[in-house]
Structure 1
Amino acid sequence: MKKITKKVIWFTGLSGSGKSTLANSLISQLRKQKFSCILLDGDEVRSGLCADLAFSESDRIENIRRIAEMASLMIKQSDFVVVATISPNDFLRNKAKKIITGKLFNLIYLSTPFDVCVARDTKGLYKKAFEGKIKNFTGIGARFSPPKKYHLIIDTNQSKIKDSLSQILKMLNVD
């Protein structure tokens, strides 16, 4: 097995950009290579540990803080922690980076266009937000600000899953 440096891989992007899809593919590939890894999916965390939070600014901060704290604990026992969460601005992403520590934190920005994300709406979230059923939904009622700094940028509308995964594995030096 290759000697690797432990890393937290933090996917950011709009809902529907492909964060969960790529995160699950990455976990699968890392496990095939016998690395220990854990996935923290923002949707799953929101339905459990963060079920008490809504989408206000203070709730978003607390949501990211909890996810980052979990990632920080888990990376001590694993080779990789993969996080898939919108984390809609640099303040939140930098907060996560500080909790995890910069040397472990690797940001991957999925720059998939808004209209593509809306068209993919497999969970019906954009539809509910357009109907006013979800307040402050990122991309509609709340802004998503692309990161100023990242380790890798991928437009999943232009890159197939296999190609995106290959880029990520190369970045992690496990290709």
Structure 2
Amino acid sequence: MASSNVTWHESSLSKDVRRVQNGHHSFVIWFTGLSGSGKSTAANAVAAKLYKDGISNYVLDGDNIRHGLNKDLGFSEDDRKENIRRIGEVSKLFVDSGQVVLTAFISPFQADRDIVRDLLDEDEFIEVYVKCSLEECEKRDPKGLYQKARNGLIKDFTGIDSPYEEPKNPEFVLETDRFSIEECVDQLVNYLTERNFI
């Protein structure tokens, strides 16, 4: 049960001040898509490009977060929602610190992604749909998860026996089954540049 004996304490350093020190805007790039679509690969490649250009950033990856912050959560619908809620709150902290945060999470439900969007200001959330057909994701199957799900060894697996809701109006779509990771990085960085995010 949540405690009622808590009070928000204002920071002595504002988000705007931190942005000035860092020399760039802070925001979330939220990569969403099926397992094997290339979310983590794309997020890390974009992060490397931003770092090279002097933009302070950090990648939050689904598997990595489940080793620590969210290791108490499973894959039921409620646990998936809580997983994304926590990541949204952590992402907001990164934005407040003046950094760019790139998140790579299946985040299958539109409502949960919208909750994260609502935590942030209008120019602080970029939903990137990493679009890749289920057939191609299954062909790639880098962790062997689709095969396990097909064999009944994994329950509630997104795309097999648990739904994935495609983003309704993502800011950007990366088609990783049509373009190389290098091309996808260039496309997204061009988008960020044209819209003065970086």
Which TM-score band (shorter chain)? over 0.9
TM-score by length of 2: 0.83
Offset of 1:47 from its aligned partner?
Answer: 2.2
Aligned match for 2:162, one of 135, 138, 142: 142
RMSD, aligned α-carbons: 1.6
Give yes or no for contact 1:69–1:100 (8 Å, CA) kept in 2: no
1:1-150 equivalence runs, <5 A: 4-150=24-170
Offset of 1:97 from its aligned partner?
Answer: 0.9
CA distance in 1, matches of 2:37, 2:138: 9
Deviations 1:26-72 (CA, angstroms, capped at 9, x unpaired): 11111101111011001111222111111111101100001111100
Which residue in 1 is equivalent to 2:184? 164
Offset of 1:150 from its aligned partner?
Answer: 0.6
CA distance in 1, matches of 2:138, 2:42: 18
CA distance in 2, matches of 1:100, 1:124: 35
Q: The residue matched to 2:111 in structure 1 has which SS?
A: helix
Deviations 1:60-91 (CA, angstroms, capped at 9, x unpaired): 11000011111001112243100000011211
Structure possessing the higher radius of gyration over alpha carbons? 2
Deviations 1:86-126 (CA, angstroms, capped at 9, x unpaired): 01121111011112344311000011000100111111111
Offset of 1:7 from its aligned partner?
Answer: 1.6
| Runs of 4+ with deviation above 6 angstroms | none
2:63 partner letter: D
Specify every segment of 5 or more residues in structure 2 that has no aligned partner in the other structure, as ranges: 1-21
Identity %: 41
**Count of residue pairs brought into register by the alignment:** 174
CA distance in 2, matches of 1:160, 1:51: 32
1:28 partner letter: A
Structure 1 pair 120/78, CA: closer, same or farther in 2 (3 Å)?
farther
CA distance in 1, matches of 2:106, 2:119: 17
- Higher mean alpha-carbon deviation, 146-155 vs 95-104, is at 95-104
Specify every segment of 5 or more residues in structure 1 that has no aligned partner in the other structure, as ranges: none
Offset of 1:128 from its aligned partner?
Answer: 1.5
CA distance in 1, matches of 2:149, 2:169: 29
Give yes or no for contact 1:9–1:82 (8 Å, CA) kept in 2: yes
2:135 partner letter: D
Give yes or no for contact 1:71–1:100 (8 Å, CA) kept in 2: no
